[in-house]
Structure 1
Amino acid sequence: MEVFIFDYLAFLLKSLTLVVLFALPIVLIAAAKNHKNQDETAQLKIKHLNDELEAYQQELDEHLLDKSALKKLYKARKQQKNTDATEDKARVFVLEFDGDMQASGSEHLADLLTILSARIREQDEVVVCLESGGGYVHRYGLAAAQLERLRQQQVKLTVCVDAVAASGGYMMAAVADTIYAAPFALIGSVGVVAHVPNFHRLLKKHEVDFEVLTAGEHKRTLTLFGENTPEGRDKFIEDLQKTHELFKQFVQQKRPQVEIKKIATGEVWYGQEALNLGLIDGLQTSQQYLQTRCQEANVYKISLEKPQPLLEKLGINLVKVAEKTWSRWQAKAQNLPKA
């Protein structure tokens, strides 16, 4: 009996191997063909949050209320809809920004703002649900500049932070007219940091020369493989301080109520502390704020979605796996406090 089972398992494994060997090339060819023929133009997705919320509430009411109460409720809702149809209600557009080191979502954000700019009115509002621990200064400076376009159009901008808006993330948030954060969201980190490893001594130990040739006194201050000098190190620190000064000036300009010397130390604060320091304007989650706005305005969540290649749908996306691994490593490296 045992021999039969082992023989059967061996046969099964061989069969699966053959299936994989024959099927994999077909899948790869089909995926390549599909990707080639696919229109890569991003599709605009619009979700009316009022309708979504009402549908959920209606489903709950059907389970909780008796027929008589349900009938009265439907009648009241119908009358309210007729009233709303005659009113020129305010409109709220909800965007999401989930930041990484490169602030790679800024291109997506810019496209959405360009789409909105042709139809948005001064009485409308844009809500950005922002999550970012920061990254490269120039990339987050660009993302903040994209949000600045709304201020130039005299459109109200609200930023909601549920988890973190630190460093470059707070640079973006500071552009808003109003900032809301969850009670334990991490806010602030108005500072600048740079990590520069140097392998010069290791190369020297193994008798490997690495030359850094420049034209211009400060073309290279610190390098990875060359021999760093005290003068180069001092210049690098000077550049960091200049960048920090620009960051401080930006925050002070956008939020004049903050005591800049007190908050520009590179520290992060939880929501309640950030509120006391003037870094934010209120404590509530993004869902709380949007639920409130649904009672007063038509709320639309908008996004741009590109068609997914077949291989990505099958989960064979090494880039995404690498990005997630890198993000996890960064989170551990930041030594964020854990509850």
Structure 2
Amino acid sequence: MKSLLRRLLPKSMRPEGVTIPVVRLSGAIMAGGSQFRQNLSLASTAGLLEKAFADKEAPAVAISINSPGGSPVQSRLIHKRIRDLAVENNKKVFVFVEDVAASGGYMIATAGDEIIVDPFSIVGSIGVISATFGFPELLKKVGVERRVYTAGANKSVLDPFQPEKPEDVERLKALQLDMHESFIELVRQRRGARLADNPDLFTGLFWVGRKGVELGLADGIGDMRGFLKDRFGAKTRLKLIAPPRGLFGRRLGLFSVRGSSPAADIASAAADGLIDAAAERALWSRFGL
């Protein structure tokens, strides 16, 4: 309502200064999510991004990123949505890195026209990783016989309960190389001549903010409020675009479906949340966080 009233007033009577919409993207990047944890994905961020870019008076959109990475698909989808909205609405995008923008988190960061980091931020990790466990001897020790039936010779590739096969690992690494090349191409397209000529740039290494600026992975050191006031004036205001708030139960999705009890729904959601939390903890821990 306030923004509508401001637009109806003559420009001479409007408050000075501009308002910059702010979207916070924080967490591991994974499709789906649980009722107790919300991951970063296109589904969880699209509405916030649409709302931020819909502000016709704002000359730019600010995006705060704090993510250790995750799904390369969801990372690219979020990146693309940001760029599409920026072009459609003719707005600049400024990305501000908090603790970390690594791997998929950095992929999203490159959607910004400028990337601003803190001296202690971590950026980079331009690579692809797959991690799992192998349990080929466990079943023997506990006296369990596992039976797997497939139609298709490669349906049981990398089965963690079978001995690792060199040809399976070779196939996985080929997929990783394809994804890595696509990641490198995207970074080169967005960062262009700003990138330093450094052989370690695309090896999966990561750096603190100041070194990231030297390497061309970021454009400057600063914080969101100070940067935007320097760019648009001292009276610049920041407007956080947040998800709609609802009742506690509805926000957590605690209304059971027919045939299941609320207690069962809560227990299932809690178990999913623990699994997601463990996966997210592993991503953060790679960067000492």
Q: Same fold (TM over 0.5)?
A: yes
- What TM-score do you get using the length of structure 1 for normalisation? 0.64
- Cα distance in 2 for partners of 1:87, 1:334 equals 46
Please tell me the residue identity of whatever aligns with 1:92: I
Q: Following TM superposition, by how much is the alpha carbon of 1:329 offset from its aligned partner in structure 2, in angstroms?
A: 4.0
| CA distance, structure 2, for counterparts of residue 243 and residue 190 of structure 1 | 11
Counterpart CA distance in 2 for 1:185 and 1:84 is 41
Q: Is the 8 A contact 1:132 1:164 kept in 2?
A: yes
> Displaced runs of 4+ in structure 1, greater than 6 A?
none
Q: Distance in 2 between matches of 1:275 and 1:246?
A: 23
CA distance in 2, matches of 1:172, 1:84: 39
Pick the structure with more helix per residue: 1
Q: 1:204 aligns with which of 124, 140, 163?
A: 140
- Percent identity, please: 26
How far 1:182 sits from its partner (Å)?
Answer: 0.3
Q: How does 1:41-60 map to 2 (within 5 A)?
A: none
Q: Distance in 2 between matches of 1:243 and 1:84?
A: 53
2:234 alignment partner in structure 1: 295
Match of 1:223 in 2: 159
Matched, 1:175 2:103: no
How far apart, CA to CA, are the structure 2 residues paired with 1:312 and 1:83?
40
Displacement after TM superposition at 1:84 (Å)? 6.7
CA–CA distance in structure 2, aligned partners of residues 133 and 277 of structure 1 = 19
1:164 equivalent in structure 2: 100
- Give me the whole-angstrom Cα distance separating, in 2, the residues matched to 1:145 and 1:116: 15
- Alignment match, 1:97: 25
Q: Which residue of 1 aligns with 2:259?
A: none
> 2:116 aligns to what SS in structure 1?
strand
Query: Over residues 188-229 of structure 1, what are the superposed CA-to-partner deviations in whole Å (9 max), with x where a residue is unaligned?
Result: 000111112111222234453334444445444312223331
Show the counterpart of 1:12: none
So what's the TM-score if we normalise by structure 2?
0.74
- Equivalent position amino acid for 2:242 in 1: S
The structure-2 alpha-carbon separation of the partners of 1:84 and 1:100, relative to structure 1 and needing over 3 Å to count, comes to: farther
One of 121, 124, 141 as aligned partner of 2:76: 141
SS of the residue aligned with 1:129? strand
Retained in 2: the 8 A contact 1:252–1:260? no
**Counterpart residue number, 2:60:** 125
Equivalent position SS for 2:241: strand
Q: Residue by residue, what CA displacement relative to the aligned partner does 1:255-301 show, whole Å, maximum 9, x if unpaired?
A: 11224743111111001100000000000122322444462544322
Structure 1: runs of 5+ lacking an equivalent: 1-44, 48-81
1:243 aligns with 2:195: no
The answer for the alignment partner of 1:85 in structure 2 is 13
Distance in 2 between the 1:245 and 1:332 partners?
Answer: 24
Of residues 181-190 and 295-304 in structure 1, the stretch that sits farther from structure 2 once superposed is 295-304
What does 1:318-337 correspond to in 2, within 5 Å? 319=270, 322=274, 326=278, 329-330=281-282, 333-334=285-286, 336=288
For 1:84 and 1:128, locate their aligned partners in 2 and report how far apart those are by CA, in whole Å.
30
- Say which SS state the counterpart of residue 179 (structure 1) adopts: strand
Kindly tell me: are residues 322 and 228 of structure 1, through their superposed partners in 2, closer, same or farther at Cα, counting changes over 3 Å? Answer: closer
1:53-100 alpha-carbon deviations (Å, 9 max, x no partner)? xxxxxxxxxxxxxxxxxxxxxxxxxxxxx9973588544211111122
Q: Deviations over 1:28-68 (max 9, x none)?
A: xxxxxxxxxxxxxxxxx999xxxxxxxxxxxxxxxxxxxxx
SS at match of 1:250: helix
Do the aligned partners of 2:245 and 2:251 also contact (CA within 8 Å) in 1? no
Q: What CA distance in whole angstroms lies between the structure 2 residues aligned with 1:253 and 1:219?
A: 36
Task: Report how far residue 231 of structure 1 moved.
Answer: 0.8
In structure 2, relative to structure 1, the CA distance for the partners of 1:134 and 1:312 (3 Å cut) is same
Mapping of residues 181-192 of structure 1, within 5 Å: 181-192=117-128
Unaligned runs of 5+ in 2: 4-9, 32-38, 253-265
Contact 1:220 1:232 in 2 (8 A): no
Please say if residues 68 and 100 of structure 2, whose CA atoms lie closer than 8 Å, have aligned partners that are also in contact. Answer: yes
Distance 1:96 1:190 in 2: 22
Are the counterparts in 1 of residues 28 and 69 from structure 2 also a CA contact under 8 Å?
yes
Q: CA RMSD in A?
A: 3.5
Tell me the residue number matched to 1:27. Answer: none
Number of aligned residue pairs: give it. 256
Could you say if the C-alpha distance between residues 304 and 289 of structure 1 is closer, same or farther in structure 2, counting changes exceeding 3 Å?
same
Provide the rounded CA distance (Å) in 1 between the counterparts of 2:279 and 2:247.
Answer: 22
Select the structure of larger CA radius of gyration.
1
Distance 1:294 1:225, change over 3 A: farther
Q: Which moved more, 1:183-192 or 1:292-301?
A: 292-301
Report SS of the residue matched to 2:243. strand
